[in-house]
Amino acid sequence: MEPSLETSIGQIHLKRPVMLASGILGISLDVFNRLYRSGAGAVVTKSLSTEPWEGYPNPTIFSVKGGGWINAVGLSNPGAPNFAKMIEPNKDVPIIVSLVGSIPGDFEMMVKQFENCKVTAYELNLSCPHVAKVGLEVGDDPELVKKIVTAVKNTTNVPVIAKVGLGTTHYLETVGTAIESGIDAITAINTVRAMAIDTETQRPILSNKFGGLSGTPIKPIALRCVYEISSKYDIPIIGCGGISTWEDAIEFFLAGASGIQLGSAIGDNWIQVFDEINDGIIQYMKRKEFSTIKEMVGLAKKS
C-alpha cells in the first residue's frame, strides 16, 4: 500500500505535512490557492494585526553570503478585518491564520473577524524578533502569554497554536505556560535575531538594522528545540526553521514534529519545493516501510 502523507497535529488534520510558514507570500487568496495546488498541506498567513501595517522601508530582506536569509519586513499586513474579507470566499485551502498583538483584547478582536471564514487553526506569533511591543516581547512575558492564550481559547473552538522562538525567556518555559493555558499545539521556532553590516559602505544592510535569521543556518537549532519540547512535554509540534529538503523534513518528524513549515526554501528553490519534499518523504517511507507520518514522529528518542 502507498504510504500516506496525511497527518494530525492534535485536532488539526492535513492531507500533507508541509506547510507554508507565516510571513511568506501571504497576502492574496489566489496565491494561497496556487500554493495549495503546488503541494502545501496548509498555508499560514502573514501575521495579522488589528490595523493595517506598512512595515519597514527597504532593504527588508537579503541572503547571507554563507547561506540563509535575514529579514525585517516589519510584519507588514493589511490588518485582520481587511484580510478576513479577502479569505471569506475560501473553500478549499486549509488556512492557518497567524496573529500578532500586544494585549489579549487585540487577539479577541481579530479572532472575531474570522467567524465567517474557513479557518483551520490560529497561530499566535509570540516570537517575531524585530518588531517592538509584539512577538518576542510578548513571548518573553509568561503572564501575558497566559492571558492571551486563555482569551483566544475562550473566543473560538478552532485549534490554537503558539509559535515560539529564542527570546530572553527560555522557550521551554513559554511552551509550558502556553500548555497550562490550554494551547493545542506549538510551532517551533521563529527566525533568530541577527544582523549584517556592509563593509564597503560601513552600514547595517537592513533599514531596521536588526532582523531575523532564517534558512539552513538555523535548521540544527530549530531541530534541537523540537527535540527538547517533545522530550519534555506531550504536545503536538510543528517544526519550522531552515527546512529545505525531504531529509530535513524527516529529521523533524523523528525529533517529534507531526508537521513542518517552510519559508526561506521558497526564496532559494521556488514553490516546487513543496512537491519535491512530499515526493522525498513518500520515497523514504516506502524504503523504510512506514505507512503513516505518525509512525515516524519522535522515533529519534527511542534509545
What positions carry a catalytic annotation? 128
- Least distance to other proteins from the beta carbon of 144, Å? 25
Site residues for other proteins, window 269-288 (CB under 8 A)?
270-271
- Is 90 near other proteins (CB under 8 A)? no
Torsion on CA atoms 85, 91, 96, 102, rounded to nearest 10: 20
**Range list of H helices, 38-141:** 80-87, 104-113, 136-139
Which listed residue (4, 8, 11, 62) binds other proteins by CB under 8 A?
62
Which listed residue (4, 10, 27, 144) binds other proteins by CB under 8 A?
27
Which listed residue (79, 142, 176, 280) binds other proteins by CB under 8 A?
79
> Which span sits near other proteins by CB under 8 A: 4-12, 124-132, 241-249, 264-272?
264-272
Q: How many residues bind other proteins (CB under 8 A)?
A: 43
Strands 69-71, 61-63: pairing is antiparallel
The amino acid present at 279, given as its one-letter code, is: D
- Is 28 near other proteins (CB under 8 A)? yes
Q: Which residue, 258, 132, 129, is CA-closest to 184?
A: 258
Beta carbons of 74 and 80 less than 8 angstroms apart: no
Site residues for other proteins, window 165-224 (CB under 8 A)?
198, 200-201, 203, 205, 207
Instruction: Indicate the residue among 31 and 282 with the shorter CB distance to other proteins.
Output: 31
77 beta partners = 53
**Range list of H helices, the chain:** 29-37, 80-87, 104-113, 136-139, 142-155, 171-180, 219-232, 246-255, 264-269, 273-288
Instruction: Indicate the residue among 2 and 30 with the shorter CB distance to other proteins.
Output: 30
> Which span sits near other proteins by CB under 8 A: 48-56, 119-127, 145-153, 246-254?
48-56
